[in-house]
Structure formats: structure tokens, C-alpha cells
A and B are shown apart, each in its own frame.
Chain A
Amino acid sequence: MTLTLFLEQIVNGIILGSMYAIMGAGLALIYGTMRILNFAHGEFYMLGGFFVFFLFAQQGLNPVPAVIIAVAGVALVAAIVQRLTVHVLLKREGWAFSTIAATLGVSIFLQNLALALWGERFQSVPYFVDGLLQVGEFRLPWQRVLIFVVAVAVMGVMAYVLRYTRFGWAVRATAQDPEAAAVVGVPAARIHTMTFALGAALAAVAAALLAPVFAVNPWMGLPLIIKAFVVVVLGGLGSFPGAIAGGFLLGIVEAVGITLTSSEWRDVIAFGMMILFLWVRPWGLFGVKER
């Protein structure tokens, strides 16, 4: 193998890693604020893919508004889902298990809804931008450059929001101590709904960007949510920066791993790394060791 090919693999790993990071960050935000595992996260990703397919590939909308509308649409669906399920269950006892059952139910519902609406075929979405970036021997499709740029921009905006806006402060405060947050006037229920919608919107961003690469079908969310869980374990449950770091780490390790072996080993490498982390550092890269 040439050095250039190896370099291309690493760059592809970083780009895919940025998508894992965004998926994981959404899951981590939701877990961080509500302490629930959102098993429907992959289906919000899938909905994002289908919305882009519908608006861009079928209706011929310009990709920029298509992606924005798709992401906003997924956020809206997620907000409604949260109000109807998680919001109700969080007030009752046994919510740790009931929310798992409920989000799993939402996941199955959305998969079958997509199946009924769009069928089981893989629907392909054209690239938003054509052509290749070429530097000497090194080649990279512009679509992948676009994925990376948008991903980094989204992470930057999210970091800014969490650090400097009232909403961000409310999210962090609620995540760290819900009672103390309530006492100073943070309406936890509203923050929960908004965070759930935001987490789903992040999944939709990833889907919108990856739709041209992977094609769209009702079960497309499954591999991604599993990777997102790996990312969240690597980064530390509920940690936003941890999920970002975990995403890139997973992307790069997968890329190096399959370069050294073959692509069938991708998931073995991912889960091998997760098991290793659970073994030696179960609180993850950025998590806090529980006493």
C-alpha cells in the first residue's frame, strides 16, 4: 500500500469520525440532561435522511434549504415524540426502564412508518457537490470535504451555545443538578424537550450529510446508533466534548484498523475498542469516575 492511499484512509476515517462525533454528541446531550438512553436516535437520523431524499432528490429543492428544512423537521418530530413519551414517563417511577422501552418503541414505529411511506428499497441521493479535491496523488471528493466542514462548524456552534447562551447554561445546569437548576428558575421540562429536539437535530445533520454517501433506507439508523453508543462510552456518558473526541477516535481507529486488515473487521475493531474501554476506563475519556 502506498503512503497516499494510507493517508486517504486516515482522512476518510477522520471525516466519518466527525459524523460519529455528531451522532454521539446528540445522544450524549440527551443522556446528560435527562439520564435516558434514546434508542430512537438512529431513527431520527433515518428520518433526516428521508427528509433530505424527499426534498432534495425528489422535489429538486436546493440542497441548502433542503437540509435546513429536513433538520428542523426532525427536531419538530423529536419534540413531539419527547412530549408524548419521555416527558410523561420522567414524572413516574421506574422511568429509567420505561424510557428505554418507549424510545425502543418509537424506533420500531418510525422504521415501519418509513417502510410504509418510502418502501424498503435503498434510495440514492445525489452528491450536493461534484468533483474531486486533488493534491498530487491525494484525492478526496468535495462531498466529503463538505461533510467535514459542516460537521466542524456544527460542533463549533454547539460548543458556543453550551458555553455562552442562556439555553446552554440551562442545559449544563440541569445536567449537573436538576434540583438546584429548578430552584434558580430553570424550567427543566422545557429544557428537556428542547435538548431532545436538539440531539435529534444533530442526528439529522449527520444523516443529511451522509445520505449521498450511504443511500437511504428505513434501517439505515441501526449501524449509526450502535456506533453512537460506542462513541458515548468512549467519551464518557453524557459528556459533549467526550462524544466529539470519542467520535474522531473511533473514526481514525476504524480507518487504520481496516487498512491493516480488511473492511469486514470494521465493527469488530469498533466494539473491541469499546470493550477495552469498559474494561480499563469505564468512565470514558471525559467522564467523571463515580465514587
Chain B
Amino acid sequence: MLEVRGLDVKYGDVQVLWDINLTVGAGEVVAVMGPNGSGKSTILKAIIGLVRSAAGTITLDGRPIAGQPAHAMAGLGVSLVLERRRLFAQMTVLENVRMGAFHPAVRSREKERLEWVESLFPILRERRGQLAGRMSGGEQQMVAIARGLMSGPRLLMMDEPFLGLAPRIVDQIVDIIRRINGEGIAVLFNEQNVHLSFSNAHRGYLLESGRIVLEGSGLAMLEHEMVKRVYLGT
């Protein structure tokens, strides 16, 4: 479904990504694992159009999407949950979630999607009127994911969805990713932790200093010599 070929990204004169090749199939969960500063976020931002690519192609169902503005992507079925939630802090929970269906192409189905995401996250219905900025980290992450789902994406991307969350909440988010995927939505997420990345994904990529150095099934990645030696210290 999503195909990234030979992607280079530069911030000014500084190149941060080199020759990234990455695919996400329909209904697949894919993890990009890498240490801090390896360029994980930049891959997702390049796909959604928040940063421009210097070279390479990005296609969605064979159609090129590189160079599309970020605000067009929700209409094409691609959604991104930004790192650290990034909610509209001074808006209510309900307003935040409803903003997820802002794009003209998805507006008409707002009502049914709201029911759907509130059934996925019952707490959102209870907290509708609360200011999003006043919620706990885990609750905010749920609002952020719900907002990302309101456009009815075929591909939901999440930038470090577990960052700064308590272990119990991490388990909840993992469970939510499974359920989202169970509805046939492909998921592409970033993570720094080997286990969290590869035990929760069908396939994974290992990113180091802006280059993909390894790819394979989640299981194969967990068992791989290099991953074990460098990241698990065994």
C-alpha cells in the first residue's frame, strides 16, 4: 500500500535520511526502531508531508504522494499521531477528537466515526467537556489516537506512541494498536525499545544514523544477532 523508495531528507544543508526504502502492506503493523536522533520521526513526517524530501519517491497504492501538502493527506487515508501527543491543549476532548474529521473528504462521516472511536476509548465519552491539556499522559495519548482515527485512515502512523507513559498504560496502547489493526487498518509506528517495537509488529526496520541497516519480520528482528548484541547486550 505505502511504498517509500530511495528517500533522502535534508534539514538545510544537513542530511538526516539516506536512501530509505520502506513498505507497509494493507493491514500490516510495521515498526521502525532506532535510537534517539536516528531520524525515525523524520521518516513519518516526510510521508505525511510535514518535511520535504530531497530525493526518492513515496507512493500510496502506486500514486505518488511526495510533495503533497500535509493537510491533503487526511483525505487520502493517511493519518499521523505526532510525538508527545500534540493535542490542542486549550480545546476540549470532544473538540480535539472532532478536529480529526476536519478534512472535507471525511467530514460527512464524522458522526459514525465519533461513535466508533468512543467505543474504542470509552473514557473519551466521559471526558468530552474536559480541556485536553488537563488530562494525564495516557489519556492524552488516547485522545491523540482517537483524533488520528477520525479521518478513517487506511494507514495510521504513530510517532513514539509509548514515550513517557507508565508500563500499565503502555500495555493499554499496545492493546489498542492490536484492536485498530484488527479493524483492517495498517499501522506504522516508531519506537526506541527493541521489545516494544518488534514484538508488536509484523515487520520491522532498524534505523541507525539515518540509514536502514536491517529489516525483517518482527520475530526475526528480535532474534537477529546484531539486534541482540547492540541493543539487548546479550
Residues of A within 8 A of B (CB): 166, 169-170, 172-173, 176-177, 179-188
Contact = CB atoms under 8 A, between A and B. Distances in A.
Given A182-B71, A185-B72, 7 more contacts: A183-B80, A184-B74, A184-B100, A184-B102, A185-B74, A187-B71, A188-B71
Contacts of B104: 185
A180 B71 contact: no
How many B residues touch the partner, as a band? 20 to 34
Given A179-B50, A182-B50, A169 B102 contact: yes
Contact of A185 (B86, B98, B103): B103
B150 to A, nearest CB: 8
B73 interface: yes
Interface stretch (B2-10, B89-97, B204-212): B89-97
Contacts of A185: 71-75, 102-104, 106, 151
Nearest to B75: A185
Contacts of B75: 185
A161 to B, nearest CB: 14
Interface string B57-90: 0000000000001111111000110100011111
B91 A179 contact: no
Given A179-B50, A183-B82, A172 B91 contact: yes
Contact of A184 (B50, B89, B90, B151): B151
Contacts of A180: 82, 86-88
Contacts of B101: 184
A166 B86 contact: no
A172 B88 contact: yes
B88 A176 contact: yes
B147 interface: yes
26 contacts: A166-B102, A169-B95, A169-B102, A172-B88, A172-B90, A172-B91, A173-B88, A173-B91, A173-B99, A177-B88, A177-B89, A179-B70, A180-B88, A181-B88, A181-B99, A182-B50, A182-B70, A183-B48, A183-B80, A184-B100, A184-B150, A184-B151, A185-B71, A185-B103, A187-B71, A188-B71
B147 A179 contact: no
A176 B99 CA distance: 13
Nearest to B91: A172
B91 A183 contact: no
Contacts of A183: 48, 50, 70-71, 73-74, 79-80, 82
Contacts of A177: 86-89
